[in-house]
């Protein structure tokens, strides 16, 4: 079989490549055959049959000789003793780089399968950013593996099918490789849901015979109407792919018999004006369904796809889906990026589709560089490959393609990172809306920014694009680092003061020596680690004194830390006791979390109080304007309107209600409130006002509220 396939490969490449290129491909065939000699696939075939099959898939995309050679050699580094230098010497560095980019990281050990998978994708995408042909070869490799997956054990085949459905098929779609995308989806469906696949395949085969006459009549009517309108066009019927039908049945909760449009129709014309003329002609033949028209010619998809889509009322009440496009658009729709493959050289400009692909890759690589966790990056990638898109407009009319479900914050980050980080409000179609608002096709989006604004951690709960998610996390991490470093500086200053000298007295040379000794990257990292509780302030203070040869004088001046309430993420207020200004407080340094403020009598602090180095003396600042959460419990008589009276009394005392819930206790009800107060005096005023309500039986401050 391999020899026959090899002959077919030479025939197929000879139809569009030069004789010198064919000689190179023959040499690669011989190299691959020798390298894989004696190896077999799980199906029992000679292993070399696989790289030949992959290369043949690429000939359908008319890829260049270097890509065909790399496909023939794509497994030799991984599965044989061949070295990269040997490939480079024989076929050139570009081919060697592609083969290396395609090789997995099997020689490295990973804790989990997910880590290994994520690292493989990181490596593949970095190689893909240098040369897009890497991903085209990888997709062809995955397609052939899926075609021959029956030979693999079920557990492994399900894992491979799921990976294909979640990653490889969406990448093919993102690059506009429609034929490969649909086949990958159908094959993944076959192994993920074999019973559903078998039933649906049988139903479609049966329906194909029943509907052939109807399809023929519709095609004849379409061709006749286009001819009457003097439009030079080619019309053909097409059966929708299996997984597409299954998804439609799932989304609309339909039985197969209710899916009337398993057939679609495609009209190919000579130029763009003819597309719109054909649309008008067909709308006069059958009535269009309202809201079922999409113009992807005026607004192309991100993968370069262009076409007019319309759904018409056909004969017998059957809905007819029709796509109208030019022959050139059809090539792009079938083969996407590879349809007009033009390998980049100094003389050849990159076309628009290549530019869009390059921009997408750069966004992925930014996400990769900001993601310390490989699995987190893989999640970013899956989100970014979300297939459905919405198209929105900036105030200047620029079109932005975003995943379906994208919010105003996603849009802000797609414009520019600074716009996202500084956004405070948004207008959609000239109306103010919340930042979490999901955008719809055609929305006009205007972002309002403020110079000192910064991302809110809550945004991570609703953004959908990987760029927004990674930029928000990066900004929050930077903010956290800066705030932790400021807190660390205060804590270190306190420790140094107790040793008898000041922070500003420490020369830069001492810091440099300490940074080298501790293997830290910078002074800021050491300070941030102190603020986060990863290093003890007294230990660092003594190390600084030692490396600077500064005499230590225990002054006994154990300075306290002043709490202002505006320190940000570096200082947290314990939810177990919810301290407010006026409460006696104590600070607990907790590794990775920073300084946690508790009340002196907090029940959760009774254990572990002996480790004095973890505790800090803290006091409230005299001028605090921030509001703090506090919990109170009211026992009230069950009478009409009592909740309204309580809420009004709280409002009169100039407090906000953050949360409220209640539980019945016979004739009485327990009301639990989380209020915002400025200090203990403010809380006392609120409680005094509440006691004046006749229905209030008892009122107490509680440390936590039961859920």
d(CA 410, CA 467): 8
> What six digits make up the tokens of 169?
């098929």
Known catalytic membership, residue 554: no
Please say whether the beta carbons of 481 and 427 come within 8 A.
no
User: Do residues 123 and 166 share a domain?
Assistant: yes
d(CA 332, CA 176): 7
Is residue 652 assigned to a domain? yes
Binning pLDDT at 50, 70 and 90, where does residue 347 land? Answer: very low
Binning pLDDT at 50, 70 and 90, where does residue 557 land? Answer: very low
Asked if the model's pLDDT at residue 1 lies above 50, the reply is no
Q: What is the pLDDT of residue 110?
A: 47
User: Do residues 171 and 208 share a domain?
Assistant: no
Is residue 371 assigned to a domain? no
d(CA 103, CA 123): 9
Domain that holds residue 519: 481-620
d(CA 657, CA 660): 7
Q: What is the pLDDT of residue 348?
A: 40
Beta bridge partners of 561: 618
d(CA 390, CA 440): 6
Express each pLDDT in 370-414 by its tens digit.
555 555 555 555 555 544 677 788 888 787 878 878 999 999 998
Express each pLDDT in 663-702 by its tens digit.
876 788 889 999 999 999 999 999 999 999 989 999 999 8
User: Which of 338, 370, 392 is a domain's end point?
Assistant: 338
What is the percent of the chain where pLDDT is above 90? 24
Please say whether the beta carbons of 214 and 315 come within 8 A.
yes
In our burial notation (b when 16+ CB lie closer than 10 A, e otherwise), range 52-80 reads bbbbbbbbebbbbbbbbbbbbbbbbbebb
Beta bridge partners of 572: 596
User: Do residues 578 and 634 share a domain?
Assistant: no
Is residue 674 assigned to a domain? yes
45: phi then psi, degrees, rounded to nearest 5: -75, 155
Asked if the model's pLDDT at residue 341 lies above 70, the reply is no
Which residues 6+ apart lie within 8 Å of 412 measured at CB?
Answer: 419, 420, 423, 426, 447, 468
Asked if the model's pLDDT at residue 47 lies above 50, the reply is yes
d(CA 87, CA 94): 10
Asked if the model's pLDDT at residue 586 lies above 70, the reply is yes
Order of strands across the sheet that contains 585-590: 561-563, 615-620, 585-590, 594-599, 571-573
Length of the chain: 707
User: Do residues 212 and 324 share a domain?
Assistant: yes
> What six digits make up the tokens of 564?
């202002």
d(CA 98, CA 75): 11
Residue 522 burial by Cβ neighbours in a 10 Å radius (0-12, 13-18, 19+):
exposed
Spot the catalytic one: 21, 45, 78, 295: 78
Residue 459 burial by Cβ neighbours in a 10 Å radius (0-12, 13-18, 19+):
buried
Q: Is the pTM of this model over 0.75?
A: no
CA distances from 622 to 126, 194, 195, 685 (A): 54, 70, 71, 19
Known catalytic membership, residue 489: no
Is residue 393 assigned to a domain? no
What is the percent of the chain where pLDDT is above 70? 79
Binning pLDDT at 50, 70 and 90, where does residue 427 land? Answer: very high
Q: What is the pLDDT of residue 123?
A: 66
> Angle at Cα 383 formed by Cα 378 and Cα 387, nearest 5°?
125
> Coil, strand or helix: which one is 560?
coil
CATH of the domain at 176: 1.10.3210.10
138: phi then psi, degrees, rounded to nearest 5: -60, -40
E strands in 223-367: 233-239, 263-269, 288-295, 308-313, 319-326
Q: What is the pLDDT of residue 100?
A: 85
CA distances from 243 to 156, 210, 384, 390, 676 (A): 21, 21, 21, 22, 53
User: Do residues 608 and 642 share a domain?
Assistant: no
Is residue 301 assigned to a domain? yes
d(CA 465, CA 403): 7
d(CA 11, CA 290): 49
Is residue 55 assigned to a domain? yes
CATH of the domain at 688: 3.30.70.260
Asked if the model's pLDDT at residue 367 lies above 60, the reply is no
Please say whether the beta carbons of 389 and 401 come within 8 A.
yes
Spot the catalytic one: 79, 261, 366, 614: 79
User: Do residues 580 and 662 share a domain?
Assistant: no
661: phi then psi, degrees, rounded to nearest 5: -155, 170
Q: What is the pLDDT of residue 707?
A: 44
Residue 104 C-alpha from the chain's centroid: 23
CATH of the domain at 313: 3.30.460.10
User: Do residues 56 and 162 share a domain?
Assistant: yes
Over residues 32-37, the mean pLDDT reads 90
Is residue 300 assigned to a domain? yes
User: Do residues 162 and 15 share a domain?
Assistant: yes
Express each pLDDT in 449-476 by its tens digit.
988 888 888 898 889 887 888 888 888 7
d(CA 231, CA 237): 18
Is residue 567 assigned to a domain? yes
d(CA 156, CA 162): 10
Q: What is the DSSP letter of 344?
A: -
Report the range out of 354-368, 390-404, 486-500, 599-613 with the highest average pLDDT: 390-404
Rg (CA), the chain: 34
Express each pLDDT in 171-186 by its tens digit.
888 777 888 888 999 9
Binning pLDDT at 50, 70 and 90, where does residue 66 land? Answer: very high
Binning pLDDT at 50, 70 and 90, where does residue 118 land? Answer: low
Express each pLDDT in 155-211 by its tens digit.
889 989 988 888 888 888 877 788 888 899 999 999 999 999 998 888 877 776 666
d(CA 474, CA 86): 42
User: Do residues 609 and 650 share a domain?
Assistant: no
Alpha carbon distance, N-terminus to C-terminus of the chain: 68
When divided into structural domains, the chain yields a total of 4
* Average pLDDT over the chain, rounded to an integer: 80
Asked if the model's pLDDT at residue 270 lies above 50, the reply is yes
User: Do residues 267 and 288 share a domain?
Assistant: yes
Asked if the model's pLDDT at residue 549 lies above 80, the reply is no
The residue that leads in pLDDT, 370 or 91, is: 91
Pairing of strands 594-599, 571-573: parallel
> Coil, strand or helix: which one is 205?
helix
User: Which of 315, 338, 361 is a domain's end point?
Assistant: 338
User: Do residues 26 and 156 share a domain?
Assistant: yes
Pairing of strands 263-269, 233-239: antiparallel
The secondary element (H helix, E strand) that includes residue 652 is helix 642-652
User: Do residues 499 and 638 share a domain?
Assistant: no
Which residues 6+ apart lie within 8 Å of 462 measured at CB?
Answer: 407, 409, 436
Q: What is the pLDDT of residue 109?
A: 45
Tokens 């400021």: give the residue.
486
d(CA 545, CA 501): 9
Angle between helices 537-547 and 508-518 (to 10 degrees): 120
d(CA 159, CA 191): 9
d(CA 50, CA 74): 10
User: Which of 192, 215, 247 is a domain's end point?
Assistant: 192
Q: Helices (DSSP H) in 548-703: which residue ranges?
A: 642-652, 680-691
Pairing of strands 423-428, 594-599: unpaired
């Amino acid at each position: 079989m391999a020899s026959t396939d090899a002959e077919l490969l030479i025939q197929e490449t000879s139809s569009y490549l030069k004789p010198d290129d064919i000689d190179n491909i023959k040499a690669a065939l011989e190299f691959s055959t020798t390298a894989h000699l004696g190896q077999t696939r799980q199906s029992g075939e000679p292993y070399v049959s696989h790289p030949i099959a992959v290369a043949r898939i690429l000939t359908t995309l008319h890829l260049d000789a270097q890509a065909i050679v790399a496909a023939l050699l794509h497994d030799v580094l991984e599965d044989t003793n061949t070295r990269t230098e040997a490939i480079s010497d024989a076929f050139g560095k570009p081919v060697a780089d592609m083969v290396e980019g395609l090789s997995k990281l099997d020689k490295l050990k990973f804790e989990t399968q997910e880590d290994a998978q994520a690292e493989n994708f990181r490596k593949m995408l970095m190689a893909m950013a240098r040369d897009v042909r890497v991903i085209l070869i990888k997709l062809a490799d995955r397609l052939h593996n899926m075609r021959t997956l029956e030979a693999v054990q079920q557990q492994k085949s399900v894992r491979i099918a799921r990976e294909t459905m979640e990653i490889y098929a969406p990448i093919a779609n993102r690059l506009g490789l429609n034929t490969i995308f649909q086949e990958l989806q159908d094959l993944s469906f076959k192994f993920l849901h074999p019973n559903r696949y078998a039933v649906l395949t049988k139903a479609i085969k049966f329906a194909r015979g029943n509907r052939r006459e109807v399809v023929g009549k519709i095609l004849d009517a379409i061709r006749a109407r286009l001819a009457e309108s003097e439009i030079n066009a080619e019309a053909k019927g097409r059966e929708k792919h299996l997984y597409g039908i299954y998804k439609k049945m799932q989304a609309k909760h339909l039985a197969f018999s209710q899916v009337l449009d398993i057939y679609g129709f495609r009209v190919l014309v000579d130029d763009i004006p003819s597309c719109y003329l054909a649309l008008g002609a067909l709308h006069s033949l059958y009535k269009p369904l309202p809201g079922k028209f999409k113009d992807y010619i005026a607004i192309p998809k991100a993968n370069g796809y262009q076409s007019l889509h319309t759904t018409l009322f056909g004969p017998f009440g059957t809905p007819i889906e029709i796509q109208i496009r030019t022959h050139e658009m059809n090539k792009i729709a079938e083969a996407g990026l590879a349809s007009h493959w033009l390998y980049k050289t100094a003389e050849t400009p990159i076309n628009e589709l290549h530019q869009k692909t390059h921009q997408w890759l750069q966004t992925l690589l930014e996400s990769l560089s900001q993601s310390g966790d490989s699995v987190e990056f893989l999640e970013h990638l899956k989100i970014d490959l979300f297939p459905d898109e919405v198209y929105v407009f900036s105030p200047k009319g620029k079109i932005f393609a975003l995943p379906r479900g994208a919010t105003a914050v996603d849009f802000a980050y797609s414009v520019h990172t600074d716009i996202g980080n500084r956004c405070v409000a948004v207008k959609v179609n000239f109306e103010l809306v919340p930042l979490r608002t999901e955008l719809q096709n055609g929305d006009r989006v205007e972002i309002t920014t403020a110079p000192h604004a910064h991302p809110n951690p809550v945004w991570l709960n609703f953004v959908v694009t990987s760029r927004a998610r990674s930029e928000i996390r990066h900004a929050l991490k930077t903010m956290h680092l800066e705030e932790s470093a400021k807190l660390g500086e205060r804590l270190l200053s306190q420790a140094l003061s107790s040793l008898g000298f000041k922070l500003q007295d420490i020369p830069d040379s001492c810091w440099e020596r300490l940074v080298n000794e501790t293997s830290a990257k910078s002074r800021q990292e050491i300070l941030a680690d102190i603020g986060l509780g990863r290093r003890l302030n007294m230990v660092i203070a003594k190390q600084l004194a030692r490396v600077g040869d500064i005499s230590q004088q225990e002054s006994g001046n154990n300075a306290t830390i002043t709490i202002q309430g505006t320190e940000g993420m570096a200082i947290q207020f314990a939810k177990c006791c919810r301290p407010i200004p006026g409460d006696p407080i104590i600070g607990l340094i907790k590794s990775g979390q920073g300084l946690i403020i508790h009340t002196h009598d907090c029940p959760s602090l009774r254990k572990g109080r002996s480790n004095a180095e973890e505790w800090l003396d803290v006091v409230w600042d005299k001028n605090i304007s921030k509001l703090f959460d506090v919990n109170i419990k009211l026992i009230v008589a069950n009478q009409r309107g009592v909740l309204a009276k309580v809420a009004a009394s709280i409002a009169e005392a100039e407090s906000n209600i953050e949360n409220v819930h209640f539980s019945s206790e016979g004739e009485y009800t327990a009301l639990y409130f989380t209020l915002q107060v400025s200090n203990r005096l403010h809380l006392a005023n609120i409680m005094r006002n509440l006691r004046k309500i006749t229905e209030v039986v008892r009122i107490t401050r509680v440390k936590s509220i039961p859920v």
